[in-house]
Amino acid sequence: MRGRRRDLWWTVTVAAFLTVLAFLVYPLATVLLTSFSGEEKRFVLAANYQRFFTHRYYYSSIINSLYLSTLATAGALVLGTSLAFAVARYPLPGKPFLRAAANLALLSPPFIGAYSWVVLFGRMGLANRALEPFGWSLPTIYGWRGILLVFVVQYFPFVFLLVSAALRSVDQSIEDAALSLGSRPRRTLCTAILPILAPSLTAGGLLVFMGTMADFGTPMIIGEGLRTLPTLMYGEFMNELGGNPAMASTLGSLLILVNTVALMAQRYYAFRKAYNVVCIQPLRVQRMGRGRLLLLTAFAYAVVGVALIPAVTIIISSFMPTKGPVMYAGFSLHSYQIIFHMVPRAIANTFGLTAMAVVLDVLLGVLVAYLLARRRSRAHALLDSLIMLAYAIPGTVVGVGLIVVYNRPPVILTGTWVILLVSYFIRHLPYPVRSCTAMLQQIDVRVEEASISLGVPPFRTFLKVTIPLMFPAIISGAALAWMTTIGELSSSILLYSGPWATMSVAIFTEVFSNHFGTASALASILILAAFVPLFLTYRFLGERSALGV
């Protein structure tokens, strides 16, 4: 008998495990361990946690975070689901525009969204200054209300896209059956349609919850000192008086705990509630009176319009003459001239590091996806969970973990570009892994077996048959990884040093030094850089692209 040979796939398995252990598990374990360490490097059990939960300065952060994320999740769910239903079920005009706009709203990272609201409604904001002559003033955009607004506007498109996809898989016969059994429309919605959508609704909710819990830039820019877990963690770690890694790790551990619990709860729930739905005829578009239709159309366009405000504001303001945070009417390329003069390095860094990270993500992602889909074993299930861990871990925590582990011998990465690359690579590895695994589950293994039986050895079969068939998934996985990496702030802000600042870091510092023009110009480039791959993917793959997150 042929024994289990240590073939290429064995090597890939080992390499993937080593990568994940070195760059994710070990740093996170170190963060957890550090959270139990004392100031004299003595092992003091839970002293930091005790301090956390007894000092208002600390514990208010977790209350704020939970409060904001819960409200934001609820808001995004209501808004996203309503819009999805409106588009799927009623004869709204311009549906392709609404769908495209919801996709576009995902392009700007949340902290840029936050900044755009400051540009509009901040103290020196365009709207406030426009209203000034009339003696009017708007309610403040700063503080928790502003954060909540940004969170809801930034994250509801995720819910919209997920629920829209799920709605497309509900067959009309389900609604017909419920109605014919005497169930009134509202009851039918609650008892027949929504339960089928439950896995997608909770998946969307989870995405919003974890994303807002981890969001560092938004509360920093618009929160006016409001402490959340990530901002306090950053503050504790980067404190000018020397920093407190133990307390930062405690905060990081609590973040991990909250997100992991949310993730597990959703997985458990969705697993129990997953139904096999076969959709032959999608849900019908319903008729509606002209007045109500007009109201609904106004609602849909208002929601999508608000979602597009950040990108539009940023791009327009990047071409306006500015003086500090004040922008004037007119057209100017001055901001662009400044950034190409002052921070060309940051632009190059961002594109270079993102490209490298995406290439590495795709290379490892494709191989790992093949293992997960085709060689299911206990070890591979573990690898799957470990890689997906990267979804649940906030960038701030990854950043702190990498610094704590790699700022001492034997391997010192702090101060180099490598540590940024590592963070980008490991955090966005789940995207190609997910998209390729899903694709592989649809490709019949027998196609590969046919190739092998025709005389092409397994690895060449993988290259000649499997890879070409996976191509759409590879592209959409790469596009997603690119879009999410290029504006990454929460770990970059911790990991960059000296010449290795990225555009996101540059935007952040420009905003804090009140250089709004340059911030807008940099942010416009970021948005464009995220848009191009998305556009190309849709253009060339059309329906085959699986960008539904």
Partner 1 sequence: MTRVRVGQIVKRFGDTLAIDGVSLEVRPGELFTLVGPSGCGKTTLLRIVAGLLEQDVGSVLFNEDRMDEVPPYLRNIGVVFQNYAIFPHLTVAENIAYGLKARRVAPDRIASKIAEASRLVQLDELLGRMPGQLSGGQQQRVVLARALVIEPRLLLMDEPLSNLDAKLRVQIRSLIRAVQRTLQITTIYVTHDQEEALAISDTIAVMDRGRVLQVGKPWELYLRPANRFVADFIGTMNVFRGRVEGPGPAAGEQMVMMSFGARWRVRTDEASGAHVSLGVRPESLMLERGGNGGEPWNSLTGTVVEAAYLGAVVRYQMRIADGVEITADIHNPDFAAIRAVGDRLTLWFAARRAVALPGEAGGA
Which residues bind to partner 1, rule: CB under 8 A?
Answer: 1-2, 444, 446-447, 449-458, 460, 465, 468-469
For the chain, report the end-to-end CA distance as a whole number of angstroms. Answer: 44
In whole angstroms, how close is the CB of 364 to partner 1 at the nearest point?
Answer: 23
141 touches 149 (CB < 8 A):
yes
Q: Dihedral through CA 512, CA 513, CA 516, CA 519, nearest 10?
A: -70
In whole angstroms, how close is the CB of 373 to partner 1 at the nearest point?
Answer: 17
Nearest C-alpha neighbor of 175 from the set 288, 282, 275, 87:
282
Q: What one-letter code names the amino acid at 499? A: P
In whole angstroms, how close is the CB of 441 to partner 1 at the nearest point?
Answer: 15
- Of 5 and 41, the one with the shorter C-beta distance to partner 1 is 5
Phi and psi based region of residue 330 (left: phi greater than 0; alpha: psi -120 to 50; beta: remaining): left
In whole angstroms, how close is the CB of 9 to partner 1 at the nearest point?
Answer: 15
Q: How large is the greatest C-alpha to C-alpha distance in the chain, in angstroms?
A: 89
Handedness of CA 457, 459, 461, 463 (dihedral sign): negative
- Of 11 and 453, the one with the shorter C-beta distance to partner 1 is 453
- Of 1 and 329, the one with the shorter C-beta distance to partner 1 is 1
- Of 472 and 487, the one with the shorter C-beta distance to partner 1 is 472
In whole angstroms, how close is the CB of 460 to partner 1 at the nearest point?
Answer: 8
Residue 366 has phi, psi (to 5 degrees) of -65, -45
Q: Dihedral through CA 181, CA 187, CA 190, CA 193, nearest 10?
A: 40
Q: Which helix (H) or strand (E) holds 407?
A: strand 407-408
- Of 165 and 443, the one with the shorter C-beta distance to partner 1 is 443
Nearest C-alpha neighbor of 24 from the set 415, 388, 549:
388
- Of 286 and 453, the one with the shorter C-beta distance to partner 1 is 453
- Of 82 and 451, the one with the shorter C-beta distance to partner 1 is 451
DSSP 8-state assignment for residue 499: G
In whole angstroms, how close is the CB of 443 to partner 1 at the nearest point?
Answer: 9
- Of 8 and 312, the one with the shorter C-beta distance to partner 1 is 8
- Of 309 and 465, the one with the shorter C-beta distance to partner 1 is 465
User: Around Cβ 288, how many Cβ atoms within 10 Å?
Assistant: 15
3-state secondary structure of 326: strand
In whole angstroms, how close is the CB of 469 to partner 1 at the nearest point?
Answer: 6
Nearest C-alpha neighbor of 486 from the set 513, 519, 518, 524:
524
How far is 42 from 537, CA to CA, in rounded Å?
Answer: 53
**In the structure encoding, which two tokens stand for residue 541, read together?**
């793959």
In whole angstroms, how close is the CB of 302 to partner 1 at the nearest point?
Answer: 42
In whole angstroms, how close is the CB of 12 to partner 1 at the nearest point?
Answer: 19
How far is 106 from 160, CA to CA, in rounded Å?
Answer: 11
